[in-house]
Structure 1
């Protein structure tokens, strides 16, 4: 997305994507909730590398409905439950990592190469390719995202690959958030405006 496309609507929809895919990763780690539609949404977001607007990354608002729902609660100032608070901490880490990825041309190049390979791969191989891209480019960066969850899911290699794909989609949306002019200051001082744009 072009750097100048910095509307509040694009910013908040990009942020909703970060929230959605982070939430999906958290639910994989804690509940083992692996729904095919969620994986499809993540890969769609990752593969959409040149959108005209944030909504193009999801297809439509329904494609990011879970993130919008989560973000509404956060931006409205409601006290989050334990799950919401955990996801919020991960989101903060992902937004910081997204800035580092955006400034690292080598990492971006490796991720683009992996996306090109994944687009051409059989469906069963897509998660493996995106998982490898995450481990090679994102895992070495700080802060490292250490998901808390149930050992039976965290130690399951299939679930691990699904988690990393969701986190890669979250970081993709975090990069888009920054490209749209998103910043931490706006999260603190423009909550009402962002909430209005979300509606």
Structure 2
């Protein structure tokens, strides 16, 4: 992939996308609401199949702004934010990386996910990206594939919100987007041990990307 970012910035961007997906899961589970821009970015990333760069997965020239939630949340987590929300988001991130590791060993499941997302793309073409039918289609992809692993991500929050079918679909869609981001993170060289060994370097690159954010 051709990118204007250096290798560490690519890893930070992909990691921020993973964190953003986890943050959206937490938002829906705890409030029943989700950041609209972040939501569109995560969902759209599932349908970018031939990107020319890391940024292309998240909106090209608007990638940094599209990942605002993820970048800001990643900054808080790397700064050892001890709030309940940060701990829950971190738990989802770790769960997604573990689940993606299992998925890597199941090429037939990866193929199934790709085929089912092609069907979801037709839903996008018929309606629009954040239409309930699209969320339902993407959520079904997650349920029929990744939910078959013995390891499952336990989403916690307000039962009133979690029991609503639309919110269930949104949560599963964001989890699948998190798997997409984790896959990209590994493709650009991301590994868990780097978060410890190269933490200072990653934080510097994170600050560079944060400095590029447009005023909210």
What's the TM-score, normalizing by structure 1? 0.91
Aligned-CA RMSD value? 1.9
- Is residue 65 from structure 1 mapped to residue 68 from structure 2 by the alignment? yes
Cα contact 2:38–2:68 (8 A) shared by 1:
no
Structure 2 unaligned regions, length at least 5: 209-216
- Is residue 51 from structure 1 mapped to residue 51 from structure 2 by the alignment? yes
How far off its partner does 1:6 sit? 8.8
SS in 2 for 1:184: coil
Cα contact 1:6–1:181 (8 A) shared by 2:
no
Q: Alignment length, in residue pairs? A: 196
- Is residue 141 from structure 1 mapped to residue 163 from structure 2 by the alignment? no
How far off its partner does 1:20 sit? 0.4
Poorly superposed stretches of 4+, deviation over 6 Å: none
Partner of 1:85: 87
How far off its partner does 1:177 sit? 0.8
Structure 1 residues 140-180: Cα deviation after superposition (integer angstroms, max 9, x where no partner): 22431111011111111111001111111111001111111
SS in 1 for 2:181: helix
Partner of 1:188: 196
Change beyond 3 A, Cα 1:98–1:116: same
What's the TM-score, normalizing by structure 2? 0.84
How far off its partner does 1:34 sit? 3.8
Which residues of 2 match residues 24-39 of structure 1 at below 5 A? 24-39=24-39
Cα contact 2:19–2:73 (8 A) shared by 1:
yes
Which residues of 2 match residues 1-199 of structure 1 at below 5 A? 7-59=7-59, 60-75=63-78, 77-121=79-123, 122-123=126-127, 124=131, 125-198=133-206, 199=208
Structure 1 residues 33-82: Cα deviation after superposition (integer angstroms, max 9, x where no partner): 1454343222211111222332211112111011000111222x333311
